[in-house]
Each structure stands twice: as structure tokens, then as C-alpha cells.
Amino acid sequence: MKWSIHQLHQLQAKGLAIEETVDVSDLKQIDKLIRDISPIRVEGRADIGATKFTFHLTIEGTMVLPCSRTLVDVSYPFTIQTTETFFLNDYDVNPDEDTHLVQGDSIDLLPIVKELVLLEIPLQIFAEQPAEGGAPQAGVGWEVITEEQPKEKIDPRLAGLAKFFEQKEE
């Protein structure tokens, strides 16, 4: 995923299509939350100009992260759509957009792909089903509830009070 400026200028007339699979397993050492990550699929195209190179990319993959509640492994598929623009001149670079200044005589998309994958890690992720070996889902006097479960359990200490209001209405 690295091209020299000379190579890109040669492809200016016919364009550049990108279809690559990239191994980014070194992200596990950068962010310890990533327990495993599949090879990343990068697809897209490049618009090549005299002083501007625009890459339209779709980045897809799956990473394994710990559940925020139980710490069991959760498979997290992701798809990232991005447009990255590289300029040869520093006065064209806008820091508010996804623009970059070409360093040296080549463009390397791999560090940008890695950065985008790291930014895709959610703050919290939850396992769909409680797994064996995870945190307990119930205990003495408590249980984990979901939004689908009814919450209308009447406290036994107040059951007599509920009967009092039923008798008064009749």
C-alpha cells in the first residue's frame, strides 16, 4: 500500500484501483484491548492530479475485543469509509479535513489504515449472550436485567399496601 509519486503520475491517465488484504496484527501490541484482528480488506480507488492525490477507501475487517461487562471475547466486525487526500504543497493542506502532506517521494496508506482501525474501537461493547466463564449474571438478591424483561416485581413489604388501594377503589 505504498506508491512513489512517479508511479502515481504514470497511472494518472488510467487511474488506480486498490484491492488489497493487509495484515495489521501488530495493532495488538499498540492497543491491548484488541485481543485478535483479522487481515484487513482495503478496497477503493485513487484520483490522481498534478499536485493532489485523493484515495477513496473502504476498510473492512473483524477484531476481537473484551466484553465491557463480562470480559469474554466479542467479535466486532467493522467497515470504514474514508477519503484521504495527499498534497505535494504544504499550503494546500487543511488541518480540519483528512488531508496530508506528502513526506519524501512516496505515499504510504498503511499507517493511515492502522490509525482508522484504532479509532474504530468502541468505548463499550457487550456480548449478545452470557458466556461460560464470564461474570455471573445473578446472585443473592440481584440479577442482570435487560430492557426486554418486565420490571414490575412488587416488593413483598409493599404487597399489603397494594391490596389496601384495591379495596378502597371497590
- What is the pLDDT at residue 10? 87
Is the entire prediction scored with pTM above 0.75? no
Task: Give the residue with greater pLDDT, 9 vs 59.
Answer: 59
* Domains of the chain by residue range: 2-120
Please count the CA atoms within 13 angstroms of the CA of 2 that sit on its side-chain side: 7
C-alpha cell at 156: 413483598
Mean of pLDDT values over 98-106: 83
Give φ, ψ of 68 to 5 degrees: -65, -25
Mean of pLDDT values over 99-120: 90
Reported as a single tens digit per residue, the pLDDT across 21-52 is 999 999 999 999 999 999 999 999 999 888 88
DSSP conformation letters of 40-84: EEEEEEEEE-SSEEEEEEEEEEEEEEE-TTT--EEEEEEEEEEEE
